[in-house]
A and B are shown apart, each in its own frame.
Chain A
Amino acid sequence: MAAPRDIAALAVFRILIGALMCFGALRFMRNGWIERLYVEPQFHFKYWGFTWVHVPGEVGLYLLYCGIALAALCVAIGLLYRIAIIAFWCMFTYAELMDVTTYLNHYYFISVLTLIMCFLSPHRAWSVDAWRRPPLRTETLPAWQTYWVRFQVSLLYFYAGWAKFETDWLLHAQPLNIWLPPHSGLPLLGPFLEQPWVHFTFSWFAFLFDTLIIGFMLWRPARPWAFIVILVFHYFTHVFFNIGLFPFIMVFSVLIFFEAGWPRKVASRLRLPLPTRSAAVALAPAERWGAWRGGAAVAVVLFCAFQFLMPLRHWYYPGTVLWHEQGMRFSWRVMLREKSGSLEYRVVIGRQDGTRRTVIVSPHRYLTEEQYREMAGQPDLILQLAHHIRDDYLAQGFDTVEVYAESLVSLNGRAAHRMIDPSVDLSRTRLGLARAAWITAPPTEPPPLQRPLRLDRK
């Protein structure tokens, strides 16, 4: 773990991730997503335990994202790296915690990855810091720094793969059977995307790819071929799905599985003026493990154990996670379900004089279409909005408020089913980690398999 490894791979990793995140923040602002996702909504869903995270005003949001972009740029060029990466992590994670409906696995991945980078030293080469402060310069870093990043990347692929080990994905090719046909206009591959056998092939390939790819990346002879497969796989995810920066993040991340000196070899082949590692440094001694470093190692191991266990928590909840969603987030279940739903609340409001009245409350009253679409299939968010509705009516002066949800959800093309027990008063239901008895049992019928589109003229 303490053995010296060439710093080159981690330095390039730092540059690529920093540059990508800088681009991502600028893209976020340019696309108007600050307004759409944070300014327009009047209500924001909170993560459990993070209700203290508030959405700043429009100016504050732009300052936040400008700060993210600037910090990411500093990370990329290695200027005040330690401050920059900590600032980036704080601001980026804060931004991601502002509204649950914007949750994406790859943003969570960036949050975890940059948290790890706060404790690494990839700025000690090819950076402004190293240029300005010669004592900082080094050509090696201890191996654990690379291993830690590798572990996190491996975890994502592994769990993304095992999340596909379920019947809808493997036995019914859903949701790819729904998602791929609209892309049939693509050149060459397009016509095949209508065919169910292709959907099954892609489903099984994606399952095997995610599950096995890290093994091949760790096996030196297979590594170049595995990397080519990764490039092809993520290229297609980029083409088929509106998946943003995710393919780029993953391609940049798997570079860490190559030999630590790969950038120098590539530069040499390309005849770029990158210094080769000196022989003396190659023989640098391993770092000694003192008490402080021992404690840090334990912390790292605990962090890794937490990351390993976190995605497994859905086993605690009966039923399928695709339906009840308990344990869905932070578990690398990437692009796994096609879920659409409709929702409204029956709210019974009463006064102390005994008068009671029922009103129908549409989520649209509080949410944007974007938020509504995301939350309509996620029970904990339905509960959260129910609580907000309760508080809203109490603030209007009503003395008693009961909130019931009428929720219909279609999972992977099935007929819509009730997802919330309509007899449960959600205003009294607590949001927490306990098993949610107010979520109905998942549908038992298999999802339909849609055949290739074929029209017979009337």
Chain B
Amino acid sequence: MTLILAACGGGGGGGGGGVAQPPDPDPAPDNDPPPETGDDARRVVLSDIGTAIIVPALEDFDMMATGLQAAAAAVEAAPGDVPTADAAKAAWNTAMTSWQRAEVLQVGPAGRSTNPDAVAGGQDLRDFIYSWPFTLDTCAIEAAAANGDAVDGTTPINITGLGAIEHLLFTDAPDPACASQPDAAARAAHLSRLADRVALLATSLLERWDPAADNYLEQWSTAGLESSVIYSRPQDALDALSIALFYVEKQTKDRKVALPTGLPVTDLNCADPIACPEFLESRLSRRTGQNLIVNFEAFRDLFTGVDGGMGVNDLLIGIDRQDLADQIIAEVDDVLALLAQIEGDTGFDAAVEAITDNDECVNAFSSSSGLPPCALLGVMKTALDTFRGPVVSALGLAVPSAAAGDND
């Protein structure tokens, strides 16, 4: 009604040139769009996350995987050439940094298609690209290199992907214990085949989301509408995002940090009775700390949104829970600050290898200060307890394994 009156007032001046118009009591609104509410608001957040975070992450990885493919081809052309190998290592590092962001974004086609961790729309692409923490069969990788085996959809995930590439790039020769002992040329050729496969999968994953191709982005962004057959409610897509975010607790915290520090268990099968560096994620390339940073940066971005877009925190603020929004970002920032400090010092891998006192580690974990990797676990726990508890509760989000029974 206000708009109609305003339109009448503004457009009726043709014959009344001398009549002064009273000031408009209800000036036209500025250009800010009206607030979004309810499921429309949830779709706005999903759309922004899909458009500004998920798709760009996959685009970036596609580009990095193509770079890695080219670098691996150069190694194949000049096996044993150190500068070429170093360039390939740098390309792998860049690709890994890119992929670690996507690790936190395992919704839709990247996710698993089968139980117990099946994801809506899952097509298992993540495991083919990077199968960690599934243990690599390094001797089988050497055997595949020696035999010149093709790398395709039938190749087991424990001898392919970014982990297998890291093994071939960051070791100079096969383990003497392996039955197969391929030469440098055979290893370089296999490296190239592995990189080709990862590049293919990267493009395939991107195309699944690409609006110009399979357009999973529409499934995601329009959850609850007819155009989305995967998600019957926006909450279903948010639940999928929530379960994906648990990667940072279950993998980043509990596997990448807790296991190597030796804190959570006493019966780990590792050589060192105090810490367990064997469990470091990227021990060969010594970039575990960088992986942790990227995981937490992605986690943070999903909360804050990027490039002016909305994030999970906007959902919290939208229901008057600014307190929680501020709390989790402050706690994640504490994690990132400590990680930056560790990486700026010796690096996370070296810091883990330097752990020699279990009690000191426990104390550092409990007080979140002291021995850096152990303190880091304590700081991570604080942040992720906030996520697992109050944040998940406030937004009614799902946690992993939520479908395993009834309530009452």
Partner of B396, one of A105, A179, A190, A408: A179
A362 contacts B314, C-beta separation under 8 Å? no
Q: Given known contacts A346-B366, A454-B36, is B406 in contact with A243 (CB within 8 Å)?
A: yes
A358 contacts B359, C-beta separation under 8 Å? yes
A455 contacts B35, C-beta separation under 8 Å? yes
A359 contacts B405, C-beta separation under 8 Å? no
Q: Given known contacts A185-B233, A408-B389, A410-B390, is B264 in contact with A361 (CB within 8 Å)?
A: yes
B318 contacts A455, C-beta separation under 8 Å? yes
| B contact residues around A396 at 8 Å (CB) | 266-267
- The complex places the Cα of A413 from the Cα of B323 at a distance, in Å, of 12
B393 contacts A338, C-beta separation under 8 Å? yes
Q: Is B44 an interface residue (CB 8 A)?
A: yes
Partner of A181, one of B263, B265, B267, B396: B396
The interface bits of chain A over 307-339 (1 if a CB of B lies within 8 angstroms of the residue's CB, else 0) are: 000000000000000000000000000110010
Smallest CB–CB gap between B51 and chain A, Å?
14
* Residues of A within 8 A of B (CB-CB), count: 67
Q: Is A33 an interface residue (CB 8 A)?
A: yes
- The complex places the Cα of A182 from the Cα of B232 at a distance, in Å, of 12
Partner of A455, one of B45, B266, B392: B45
Closest to B41 in A: A455
| A contact residues around B232 at 8 Å (CB) | 185
Q: Is B26 an interface residue (CB 8 A)?
A: no
The interface bits of chain B over 265-300 (1 if a CB of A lies within 8 angstroms of the residue's CB, else 0) are: 111000000000000000000000000000000000
Q: Is B346 an interface residue (CB 8 A)?
A: no
A340 contacts B393, C-beta separation under 8 Å? yes
Q: Is A161 an interface residue (CB 8 A)?
A: no
Closest to B224 in A: A185
B320 contacts A450, C-beta separation under 8 Å? yes
| B contact residues around A393 at 8 Å (CB) | 266
If over half of A's interface residues share one DSSP class (helix, strand or loop), that class is named, otherwise mixed; here it is mixed
Q: Is B154 an interface residue (CB 8 A)?
A: no
Q: Is B362 an interface residue (CB 8 A)?
A: yes
Known pairs A37-B404, A246-B406, A455-B44; list 11 more (Cβ under 8 Å): A185-B235, A190-B39, A243-B407, A342-B381, A359-B264, A362-B254, A362-B264, A396-B267, A450-B319, A457-B32, A457-B33
Interface residues of B (CB under 8 A from A): 32-33, 35-39, 41-42, 44-45, 115-116, 224, 232-235, 238, 254, 258, 263-267, 305, 308-310, 314-315, 318-321, 358-359, 362, 365-366, 381, 384-386, 388-390, 392-396, 399-401, 404-408
Q: What are 10 A-B contacts with C-beta separation under 8 Å?
A: A104-B407, A185-B224, A191-B38, A244-B408, A358-B358, A359-B358, A360-B264, A362-B254, A413-B394, A452-B319
Interface residues of A (CB under 8 A from B): 32-33, 36-37, 40, 102, 104-107, 178-179, 181-185, 190-191, 194, 241-246, 334-335, 338, 340-342, 344, 346, 349, 357-362, 364-365, 368-370, 373, 393, 396, 408-410, 413-416, 448-458
